[in-house]
Amino acid sequence: MTKQVMKEHTAINANPVILKNREKKIIIEKKQIVYDVKDITIEETRAQVACMLNELWHSNLPNIHWSNVVRNTHYVCYVFKYNEAIIGVGIWSSPVAQNRMKNGKTILELRRLALSDFCITNTASYVISKMIKEIKKKFPELTKLVSYQDTVVHSGTIYKASNWKMHGQLSFMDWNTEKRKRNKAQSTSSKIRWEYEL
């Protein structure tokens, strides 16, 4: 991570979550502070920063390369802040299977949502709501949002709380072909597809 990126996205005072560059490693310091979820703000960030933060905080799918985000028709990444300290990240892009979807170019997929341990109950549903409002303004041509819930580690609570609709369960699909080998899958469990009409 460059010093400039670190400077732009690092809390520099006594905030609850502080990112520091020590021997090229990212270290998180946490202090227990009670706050209201409405005190959280969101702002756009670079895909490189978002993917780094996702690696720190995502419990099940830590790996996503920034180039797999920016090469899509649409993409946007957000950081969530409390008192200027970054406490979570959301990564959106055109669907991985865009060419297999009807009107795929008007759909945006929530690729990752990762929250630090500092986050309180209802943070996920709150920031999803905030991101949806921003996405509507940024991409008025979009008609739908989609996300895939891992059935092993999540129950879909955040989608239900955010008024998303369940659209079936999908079995694991291996994206490897004879001509193109992919990285080892981070999860092989079935997924539930959720949709949100814009």
**Residue 59 located in a structural domain:** yes
**Residue 21 located in a structural domain:** no
Q: Which helix (H) or strand (E) holds 7?
A: helix 3-9
The pLDDT tens digits of the residues spanning 110-169 come to 999 999 988 988 999 999 999 999 999 999 999 999 999 887 766 789 999 999 999 877
**Residue 3 located in a structural domain:** no
Q: What pLDDT score was predicted for residue 171?
A: 54
The pLDDT tens digits of the residues spanning 43-100 come to 999 999 999 999 999 888 889 999 999 999 999 999 999 988 899 999 999 998 787 7
Q: What pLDDT score was predicted for residue 122?
A: 92
**Residue 111 located in a structural domain:** yes
Give the span between the Cα atoms of 59 and 186, in whole angstroms. 11
Nearest to 58 by CA among 132, 128, 111: 111
| Residue matched to tokens 């830590």 | 62
**Residue 184 located in a structural domain:** yes
Strand pairing report for 191-197 and 107-115: unpaired
Predicted structure pTM score: 0.77
Q: What CATH code is carried by the domain that includes residue 185? A: 3.40.630.30
**Residue 82 located in a structural domain:** no
Give the span between the Cα atoms of 95 and 104, in whole angstroms. 7
Q: What are the C-alpha distances in Å from 140 to residues 136, 143, 145, 183, 198? A: 5, 8, 12, 34, 9
| Count: domains in the chain | 1
Residue 172 identity: F
Range of the domain at 146: 41-77+87-197
**Residue 164 located in a structural domain:** yes
**Residue 14 located in a structural domain:** no
